[in-house]
Amino acid sequence: MTEKATDNPDILALQQRLSSADAGVRRIALIELADLEDPDGLPWLVDALSHDADAPVRSEAARLLEAWEDAEVVEALCAALADSEATVRQAAAQSLSELKSLDAGRLILPWAGHAEAFVRASALRALRELRLPEAAEPALQALGDTDPSVRREAVGILGWLRHEPALPALACLASEEPDTEVRRAAIGALGLARDAEVLPALTAALRDPAWQVREEAATTLGKIGLDAAGQSLIEALDDGYWQVRLRAARALGRLRHAPALEGLASLLGHGIANLRKEAALALGDLRDIRAMPALRAAEPDSDPEVRKAVRIALAQLEAAL
């Protein structure tokens, strides 16, 4: 049991309710205790998370501890990832994901090797945005985990860390990973590259069976700015899903890939306004005056956002004259 000591009269006034036989009373008392924002109240919250017999009380304690990064709190939240009740595990995982300090990350790191997949995935999720350098090696190992949720979180860490040694493994996942969401995450993480090393994996992903992966591939190709991806992106303008076409159009605009002019102009007559808008903006980015006739024809478009995009594109082309 955590040692409790305080001279805060507000905390002392809550003690009877914190030990009440009524779980509902205990839960409300914990909320009031957390509202005091006094570190002296942490032992009661930690004890409730670790030892209370009622799952909703433990879940509430996990939620209330999200703002604290004390070592004892972090350890208790990590232990709660293996709680017998899913609601408690999920609340603990969410609170851990809100932590911001590298010291907290170092306490979480050993849990990435836990026997339970949920614990491993939650620990990696909590580490992701901390950008803790020490997390790179466990994340690389986790790319081979048997559970897809763990692999997905490992990919996220490597992407946030911009860990270039992971590129070959991520490129392999992009094509061979059976789980759609892991493939999609791997494609996004390949955006940390700035050379042609990842181009084959990304262009191949434009033909992935899952449209979400194709969409991510088009987005990533636009980010890394390799003109050699232009032809593959032009082909993606004919994708069966408009979301993929939109991202391909945006990428071609960012690349200023002149051969895309005809394909982009053809999208100005598409039935989906968002796609017409993106095509118009991309044509403006090309800075090619040959796009003017198509844009002029699109000026009376029925959608105000498309008309605005056409005006912007025309202004860009006129400035290039």
- Surface-to-core class of residue 82, CB atoms within 10 Å of its CB (0-12 exposed, 13-18 middle, 19+ buried): middle
DSSP string, 133-174: GGGHHHHHHHTT-SSHHHHHHHHHHHHHHT-GGGHHHHHHHH
Q: What is the pLDDT of residue 2?
A: 57
Q: Find out whether 206 and 218 touch, Cβ atoms under 8 Å.
A: yes
Contacts of 318 (CB under 8 A, 6+ apart): none
| pLDDT value of residue 132 | 95
Query: Looking at domain 1-98, which CATH architecture does it have?
Result: Alpha Horseshoe (1.25)
Which pLDDT band, with edges at 50, 70 and 90, does 1 fall under?
very low
Q: What is the pLDDT of residue 320?
A: 79
Q: Could you check whether 120-220 and 231-321 share the same CATH topology?
A: yes
pLDDT band of 3, cuts 50, 70, 90:
low
pLDDT at residue 23 tops 70: yes
Backbone angles phi, psi at 123, to 5 degrees: -65, -45
189-202 pLDDT, tens per residue?
A: 998 877 778 899 99
pLDDT at residue 115 in the model:
97
Looking up tokens 């959608």 gives 303
Query: pLDDT grade, residue 79 (50/70/90)?
Result: very high
* Cα-based distances in Å from 152 to 22, 140, 213: 41, 11, 14
Percentage of residues of the chain with pLDDT beyond 70: 99
Phi, psi at residue 100, to the nearest 5°? -120, -15
Mean of the per-residue pLDDT values of the chain:
95
The mean pLDDT of 206-234, rounded to a whole number, is 95
Mean pLDDT, residues 40-66: 96
How many angstroms separate the Cα of 167 from the Cα of each of 3, 134, 156?
A: 48, 18, 13
pTM of the predicted structure, to 2 decimals: 0.86
Give Cβ neighbours of residue 86 (< 8 Å, ≥ 6 apart): none
pLDDT at 58: 98
Q: Quick one: tokens of 86?
A: 């899913």
The domain over range 231-321 is classified in CATH as 1.25.10.10? yes
Q: What mean pLDDT do residues 83-95 have?
A: 98
Q: Which pLDDT band, with edges at 50, 70 and 90, does 304 fall under?
A: very high
- CA pair distance 107, 105, nearest whole angstrom: 5
Roughly how many angstroms between the first and final C-alpha of the chain, as a whole number? 76
Query: Which pair of tokens denotes residue 139?
Result: 């994340």
Q: What is the CATH number of domain 120-220?
A: 1.25.10.10
- CA 122 to chain CA mean position, Å: 14
Per-residue pLDDT averaged across 69-80, rounded?
97
- What are the extents of the domains in the chain? 1-98, 120-220, 231-321
Q: Half-sphere exposure of 51 toward its Cβ, with a 13 Å CA cutoff?
A: 9
Cα–Cα distances in angstroms (integers) from residue 44 to residues 19, 41, 210, in the given order: 10, 6, 48
The pair phi, psi for residue 161, each rounded to 5°, is -80, -10
What is the per-residue pLDDT for 103?
96
Q: What is the pLDDT of residues 112-154, one digit of tens each?
A: 999 999 999 999 999 998 999 999 999 999 999 999 999 999 9
